[in-house]
A and B are shown apart, each in its own frame.
Chain A
Amino acid sequence: MPQKENKLDNLCNLLENIILQHGREAPTPGQKPAKVDGATALPPPRAGTQNAVPSTSGGLPASLHSALEAGKDLSKEELERERKARKEAKKARKKGPGKENVEERKETQNSGQGSAPATTVKGSPVKGAPTTPVKGAPTTPVKGAPTTPVKGAPTTPVKGAPTTPVKGAPTTPVKGAPTTPVKGAAAPAIPVKGAAAAATPVKGAVAKPVKVAAAKSATAGAAVPSSILVVDLRYGKESSEQAGVEVAKPAGQDSTAGKSKADLRRERREKQEAQRQAKLALKEQQEEQKKQKDKQVVMEKAKASSKAKATGEGTRKARVRRASSRGSSERKVPLLGHLPQYSPNPPPHQVNSDSIHPAVLTVGLKMKYGVVEGATARVISMLAALKLFISDYRTPESCDLSRDMADKLKPNVDFLHACRPHAIAMDNAIRSVKHKINSIDPLTPEAQAKDELRGAIDEFVGENIILASSTIATHATTLIHDDVLLTFGYSALVCDVVEAVVKEGGKVSVVVADYPHPPSGAAMVQRLDRLGVPTYYRLVTDLSHIMSKVTKVVVEAEAVMMNGAVQAMCGTACLALAAATHHKPFIVLCQTYKFCNIDLTDSLVMNELGDANSMVSCPSQEHQGVLADWRDTQNLNVVRLVYDVTPAGLVTVLVTEQNVLPTSAVPVIIHRKYADILGQD
């Protein structure tokens, strides 16, 4: 399977890139910048245990038993060794992709984290991974040999997140989601065994090594880290490509034999570093306690009604309290800390605020509460609100319209973003509006300028949405005639296509695959039913069964990336996977205004966190509350991602209003369409 290997190689390269990028991110405050040499890896405080610095090809020395000798800083020897190791790793990558996969992870741990787990990290491999009980490393303190036998039988391509249980009594559970971005699918917890060290829970997250280190220091000693991570990715993306990848054990070649001075020195340094971190953690803990105390004090103050206070002050306090209580329900999930956290409440806002237009406020709340969903609907309602904003806008005496309006627009856009992170299409629409505002001649009278702007928005909606949709429907009729279509959830665009095909005399029937959180496909079924199209309503879990009977898969994209990857509602990618396995064409419908000049290879870098509570609610009365208090369960994380990403390779054809295109044509369209705007970026 040379092809597959090739792909894998590509993925690995990407992975490396991503890791490098993340590694470069600013270190968290209070944390030393991560060093790229494994030399800085630390043992846990007072560990006296082995520090597994895993290496694939035996290059990296495992850290050794503790402090004996003093010495200088990094010796040349070490640097040399490091370099060698990397070289070898590169070689290894070329040889066996699977192997390198693991190694990659190790490397990041070495490099980015700055603090290697005091244990062997066993990364359960890719998606298919059956829950692999991990028996980690040797417990002997001196040996650092990180034998991580990974039994990752790569079997079925589609599998949810496997959770691996933590084993062993004195375990230092490493909480982490080793799901490297490329891996997408599962986020298996890595149970780590070893070292009866003081609890040094390491949150090993490959995606954000630096942050992780910070997290570690925060939890060190105190909290038990979570070891279960439930990810509702509804299948991540490229899982299929990883199928058949064997994740080789990292060669746990121990280098204990050659306990060099440099090694010892390093060991010592590590120890020091660990102590420093422990101190830091303690400090942070204290601070947290202090904060909590403060909170209590505030509450008590609030209760104590015996003191006279100015009303103004009082009300302000009440507001602050309300605001703070809103934020408290958040809990950051490892790996996904970079995404805006979901909050059940809208951002704090005041009645009759000057900066936010009421129409924008309304639209923001509608998006927040999921009353308006879907990129197209959100764009339209947002533009309608912006039109009202423009109509009500008055230019102050001393200012240019274009400049002042852009300033006034900003808090409105920010509010929308605070309510719910913008869809990519919304960003594009906002950018086009801003572009229009900026390009207005300062000499134009206000009324005329406003007319122009409103006209431009009308034009945007007319061209990019109304006209484009009907053109896409026409284009699609050339691809679809007598077919059994499979689609996912609710999509007005797919409905339009079906309608157009029916009008042309095609005999289509549609299978609507749906996901119960939320069941948007039900509305789709009703609309199709009104068209008189034979319709089947299935859950997405039936895919493998449905797929053999389907002739084409048609879905609507939320956004299409520069590299041809398709961002769509979570669940779409698994349709693509199934279609690829069954050799069914996978047709993506997308208006070109949803194109985006970002390369995206996985669904973790850019995504949105949805309401995880909706996942754990169970319709059965008996089990309704089983997971209701998941936030209080230390070892459990519930994640709901809104979008997933289908790699370009799985998309057969892209239907846009411009033409029927392969995904490789996306950059051309982006450059042509956004030439003016891209130039400004």
Chain B
Amino acid sequence: MRQEAQAIVLAAGPGMRMTSLTSHTPKCLLPLGTLPMLCYPLHLLQQAGFSEVSVVVSEGQEQRVGKMVEQYGLKVDLDVAVVSTAHDPGTADSLRQIASKIKQRSVEEVVVISSDLVTDVALQDVLDQHRSRGADLTMLTSPTPSLQTTPPGPKSKTHLNSDIICTEAGSGRLVYAVAGGDYDECVTLQSSLLNCAAPLLLSASTQDAHLYVMKRWLFDYVLNKESPCADMGSLKAEILPHIVSCQFTDHSSNDKLGLSGAVEREEWDDLVKKYNSSVVPSRHHSLAHLQPPVCLTFHHPGLCVRANTLHTYWHLNRKINELFNQVYPNSEWQLRHPTAVIIERAQVSEDSVVGGGTMVCEKTNIASSVVGKHCRINPLVRLSSSVLGDHVTLASGCVIENSLILASVERKCVIKNCIVTDSNKIEEGKTYSGEVLEATQDFA
């Protein structure tokens, strides 16, 4: 039986924009509200009804990722593929890695999603729009999230450019896209774009959420060794703009390398078009002259954040308590895990998240924080607006504010605005502020 859609989660990303965290934990397993980040896209897929998901991870992680599903009560079968980290693989390389597996299956659509996406969009709606409008590629867009929180660590002004996305008003057709990092000060729009009858909306405040739904033939074409996409490394930054631009190139004269050879045409397409009296702008409209690939956007105004920078990661972690209530009300992900032991005399604020197996001792005060799994918080600790990773022990008397702690902390430390990934760096009774305390490579 032909399947409708195949989901691929790209989880091999090294986390180049948050290197201080990913040096010893792969990005897809970084804790986000006590759960590994990868859980969120998997949950999204599961909600839509996917029972089987392919995940591409970097070497050495396949075991941990494979176990994750049971551990967090997800009901999807993972099909884990491994990509070697030797040559700094891009997203397209990951796709090529898994392509051979997909090839054998007969599916209509491929859903490609990044492992760092946290959103409350209903994937089913995206798929519905994709199918009903006859799109070849649908991209999820959302307003660029505004981040009020200040992340810990030294103040840095590494402000990245935002994505630039140009759509046709009304139909939501994607006519131009360029990824944030790929331009400096100016972008060039082809004048042929202006031939689009409808007004164009060009926006820098809209982000590409890195969730794509592709028709099977387009997916195959992209991964084809003979296509122009063969040397491209990144799906978002290279392949996508290429596909989008193909909408406007005249490939009637092109040879088999072009898209025209790959396009899968539906039977009686022209006939349907002729008799169609619809007024909805689509490929099937009687006057439409769209040629494949038809690229559309699905704009989701709600929550949609990619935890791919330290800033967004921090932001999501701080907001995760709201998320748990609103987005995952029925999952077993909860603010207080049942196996967490919280001594009665400890003060834990309502908006804190406490993971499973954690022990919170008396005379502690936890406010607006995320405490990971199997942590131990000893007496007389004050923790506010902070995020703790898994297996962290806070010795008694610590005061921690607005910090990200992934390693155990010694007694009576005062830590403010810091990122701690290595416990060896922390000495007893000291005060740290605005630093990154990470393990340095010792070559001695």
A502, chain B: closest CB distance, angstroms: 17
Name the A residues within 8 Å of B335 (CB-CB): 305-306
Q: Which residue of A351, A376, A392, A519 is within 8 Å of B50 (Cβ)? A: A351
Name the A residues within 8 Å of B1 (CB-CB): 354, 392, 394
Task: Tell whether, in the assembled complex, residue A302 and residue B329 are in contact, meaning their CB atoms are under 8 Å apart.
Answer: yes
Chain A 299-333: CB-based contact to B (< 8 A → 1; otherwise 0): 00011011011111111011000100000000000
Contact of A315 with B47 at beta-carbon distance under 8 Å, contacts A302-B330, A376-B275 already known: yes
Name B274-310 residues within 8 Å CB distance of A: 274-280, 282, 284-287
Task: Tell whether, in the assembled complex, residue B332 and residue A365 are in contact, meaning their CB atoms are under 8 Å apart.
Answer: no
Chain B 315-334: CB-based contact to A (< 8 A → 1; otherwise 0): 00000000011000111101
B411 at the A/B interface (Cβ < 8 Å)?
A: no
Task: Tell whether, in the assembled complex, residue A305 and residue B325 are in contact, meaning their CB atoms are under 8 Å apart.
Answer: yes
Name the A residues within 8 Å of B106 (CB-CB): 392
Task: Tell whether, in the assembled complex, residue A384 and residue B267 are in contact, meaning their CB atoms are under 8 Å apart.
Answer: yes
Q: Which residue, A302, A380, A383, A392, has most C-beta atoms of chain B within 10 A?
A: A380
A491 at the A/B interface (Cβ < 8 Å)?
A: yes
Name the B residues within 8 Å of A351 (CB-CB): 4-5, 48-50, 123-124, 127
Q: How far is the CA of A582 from the CA of B280 in the complex (A)?
A: 35
Name A511-543 residues within 8 Å CB distance of B: 518-520, 522-523, 526-527
A391, chain B: closest CB distance, angstroms: 9
Task: Tell whether, in the assembled complex, residue B286 and residue A490 are in contact, meaning their CB atoms are under 8 Å apart.
Answer: yes
Which bracket fits the contact residues of A? 35 or more
Task: Tell whether, in the assembled complex, residue B278 and residue A374 are in contact, meaning their CB atoms are under 8 Å apart.
Answer: yes
Q: Which residue, B1, B109, B127, B134, has most C-beta atoms of chain A within 10 A?
A: B1
Smallest Cβ-Cβ distance to A374: which chain B residue: B277
Contact of A371 with B268 at beta-carbon distance under 8 Å, contacts A302-B330, A311-B332, A394-B1 already known: no
A301, chain B: closest CB distance, angstroms: 9
Name the B residues within 8 Å of A350 (CB-CB): 48-49
Which of A123-131, A222-230, A356-364, A623-631 makes up part of the contact surface?
Answer: A356-364
Name the A residues within 8 Å of B266 (CB-CB): 384
Q: Which residue, B3, B108, B268, B287, has most C-beta atoms of chain A within 10 A?
A: B268
Task: Tell whether, in the assembled complex, residue B330 and residue A315 are in contact, meaning their CB atoms are under 8 Å apart.
Answer: yes
Q: Which residue, A322, A369, A388, A392, has most C-beta atoms of chain B within 10 A?
A: A369
Name the B residues within 8 Å of A138 (CB-CB): none
Contact of A465 with B48 at beta-carbon distance under 8 Å, contacts A303-B329, A518-B279, A523-B285 already known: no
Q: How far is the CA of A489 from the CA of B52 in the complex (A)?
A: 46
Task: Tell whether, in the assembled complex, residue A370 and residue B4 are in contact, meaning their CB atoms are under 8 Å apart.
Answer: no
A368 at the A/B interface (Cβ < 8 Å)?
A: yes
Smallest Cβ-Cβ distance to B5: which chain A residue: A351
Task: Tell whether, in the assembled complex, residue A358 and residue B332 are in contact, meaning their CB atoms are under 8 Å apart.
Answer: no
B45, chain A: closest CB distance, angstroms: 8
Chain A 371-403: CB-based contact to B (< 8 A → 1; otherwise 0): 111101100110110011000101000000000
Task: Tell whether, in the assembled complex, residue B268 and residue A380 are in contact, meaning their CB atoms are under 8 Å apart.
Answer: yes
A461 at the A/B interface (Cβ < 8 Å)?
A: yes
Name the A residues within 8 Å of B280 (CB-CB): 369-371
B51 at the A/B interface (Cβ < 8 Å)?
A: yes
B405, chain A: closest CB distance, angstroms: 25
Q: Which residue of A308, A370, A394, A461 is within 8 Å of B338 (Cβ)? A: A308
Q: How far is the CA of A373 from the CA of B132 in the complex (A)?
A: 12
Name the A residues within 8 Å of B50 (CB-CB): 351-352
A346 at the A/B interface (Cβ < 8 Å)?
A: yes
Smallest Cβ-Cβ distance to B339: which chain A residue: A308
B67 at the A/B interface (Cβ < 8 Å)?
A: no
A447 at the A/B interface (Cβ < 8 Å)?
A: no
Q: Which residue, A371, A383, A493, A523, has most C-beta atoms of chain B within 10 A?
A: A371
Contact of A371 with B277 at beta-carbon distance under 8 Å, contacts A317-B330, A353-B49 already known: no
Task: Tell whether, in the assembled complex, residue B272 and residue A358 are in contact, meaning their CB atoms are under 8 Å apart.
Answer: no
Task: Tell whether, in the assembled complex, residue A523 and residue B3 are in contact, meaning their CB atoms are under 8 Å apart.
Answer: no
B73 at the A/B interface (Cβ < 8 Å)?
A: yes
Task: Tell whether, in the assembled complex, residue B277 and residue A377 are in contact, meaning their CB atoms are under 8 Å apart.
Answer: yes
Name the B residues within 8 Å of A318 (CB-CB): 47, 329-330
Name the B residues within 8 Å of A362 (CB-CB): 108, 131-132, 134
Name the A residues within 8 Å of B128 (CB-CB): 346, 365
A26 at the A/B interface (Cβ < 8 Å)?
A: no
Task: Tell whether, in the assembled complex, residue B2 and residue A461 are in contact, meaning their CB atoms are under 8 Å apart.
Answer: no
Q: How far is the CA of A651 from the CA of B267 in the complex (A)?
A: 35
A366 at the A/B interface (Cβ < 8 Å)?
A: yes
B98 at the A/B interface (Cβ < 8 Å)?
A: no
Count A-B pairs with CB separation below 8 Å. 164
Q: How far is the CA of A519 from the CA of B280 in the complex (A)?
A: 10
Name the B residues within 8 Å of A493 (CB-CB): 275
Q: How far is the CA of A522 from the CA of B286 in the complex (A)?
A: 11
Task: Tell whether, in the assembled complex, residue A357 and residue B2 are in contact, meaning their CB atoms are under 8 Å apart.
Answer: yes
Name the B residues within 8 Å of A361 (CB-CB): 4, 131
Chain A 469-499: CB-based contact to B (< 8 A → 1; otherwise 0): 0000000000000000000011111000000
A20 at the A/B interface (Cβ < 8 Å)?
A: no
Name the B residues within 8 Å of A380 (CB-CB): 268, 271-272, 275
Name the A residues within 8 Å of B330 (CB-CB): 302, 309, 313-315, 317-318
Contact of A370 with B268 at beta-carbon distance under 8 Å, contacts A309-B332, A353-B49, A362-B131 already known: no
Name the A residues within 8 Å of B74 (CB-CB): 311
Task: Tell whether, in the assembled complex, residue B332 and residue A374 are in contact, meaning their CB atoms are under 8 Å apart.
Answer: no
Task: Tell whether, in the assembled complex, residue A310 and residue B332 are in contact, meaning their CB atoms are under 8 Å apart.
Answer: yes
Name the B residues within 8 Å of A315 (CB-CB): 46-47, 75, 330-331
Q: How far is the CA of A370 from the CA of B267 in the complex (A)?
A: 20
Which bracket fits the contact residues of B? 35 or more
Q: How far is the CA of A366 from the CA of B274 in the complex (A)?
A: 16
Task: Tell whether, in the assembled complex, residue A465 and residue B287 are in contact, meaning their CB atoms are under 8 Å apart.
Answer: no
Q: How far is the CA of A372 from the CA of B51 in the complex (A)?
A: 31
B133 at the A/B interface (Cβ < 8 Å)?
A: yes
Task: Tell whether, in the assembled complex, residue B329 and residue A523 are in contact, meaning their CB atoms are under 8 Å apart.
Answer: no
Q: How far is the CA of A318 from the CA of B120 in the complex (A)?
A: 13
Q: How far is the CA of A381 from the CA of B282 in the complex (A)?
A: 14
B211, chain A: closest CB distance, angstroms: 14
Q: How far is the CA of A309 from the CA of B334 in the complex (A)?
A: 10
Name the B residues within 8 Å of A372 (CB-CB): 272, 276, 278, 284
Q: How far is the CA of A489 from the CA of B278 in the complex (A)?
A: 10
A10, chain B: closest CB distance, angstroms: 33
Contact of A523 with B287 at beta-carbon distance under 8 Å, contacts A309-B330, A369-B280 already known: yes
Task: Tell whether, in the assembled complex, residue B332 and residue A314 are in contact, meaning their CB atoms are under 8 Å apart.
Answer: yes
A466 at the A/B interface (Cβ < 8 Å)?
A: yes
Q: How far is the CA of A213 from the CA of B231 in the complex (A)?
A: 72
Name the B residues within 8 Å of A308 (CB-CB): 332, 334, 338
Task: Tell whether, in the assembled complex, residue B272 and residue A306 are in contact, meaning their CB atoms are under 8 Å apart.
Answer: no
Contact of A489 with B338 at beta-carbon distance under 8 Å, contacts A305-B324, A371-B132, A526-B287 already known: no
Name the A residues within 8 Å of B391 (CB-CB): none
B336 at the A/B interface (Cβ < 8 Å)?
A: yes
Q: Which residue, A351, A387, A518, has most C-beta atoms of chain B within 10 A?
A: A351
Name the A residues within 8 Å of B122 (CB-CB): 322
Contact of A352 with B49 at beta-carbon distance under 8 Å, contacts A303-B329, A490-B286 already known: yes
Task: Tell whether, in the assembled complex, residue B284 and residue A371 are in contact, meaning their CB atoms are under 8 Å apart.
Answer: yes
Smallest Cβ-Cβ distance to B286: which chain A residue: A523
Smallest Cβ-Cβ distance to A408: which chain B residue: B1
Q: How far is the CA of A219 from the CA of B335 in the complex (A)?
A: 44
B291, chain A: closest CB distance, angstroms: 17
Q: Which residue of A358, A370, A374, A527 is within 8 Å of B287 (Cβ)? A: A527
Q: How far is the CA of A569 from the CA of B75 in the complex (A)?
A: 47
Smallest Cβ-Cβ distance to A348: which chain B residue: B124
Task: Tell whether, in the assembled complex, residue A374 and residue B276 are in contact, meaning their CB atoms are under 8 Å apart.
Answer: yes
B40, chain A: closest CB distance, angstroms: 14
Name the A residues within 8 Å of B132 (CB-CB): 362, 365-366, 368-369, 371
Q: How far is the CA of A349 from the CA of B108 in the complex (A)?
A: 16
Q: How far is the CA of A318 from the CA of B336 in the complex (A)?
A: 21
Q: How far is the CA of A381 from the CA of B285 in the complex (A)?
A: 13
Smallest Cβ-Cβ distance to A308: which chain B residue: B338
A642, chain B: closest CB distance, angstroms: 12
The 5 closest A-B pairs by CB, nearest first: A314-B330, A350-B49, A365-B132, A490-B277, A373-B278
Known pairs A303-B325, A351-B5; list 4 more (Cβ under 8 Å): A352-B50, A353-B49, A373-B279, A490-B286
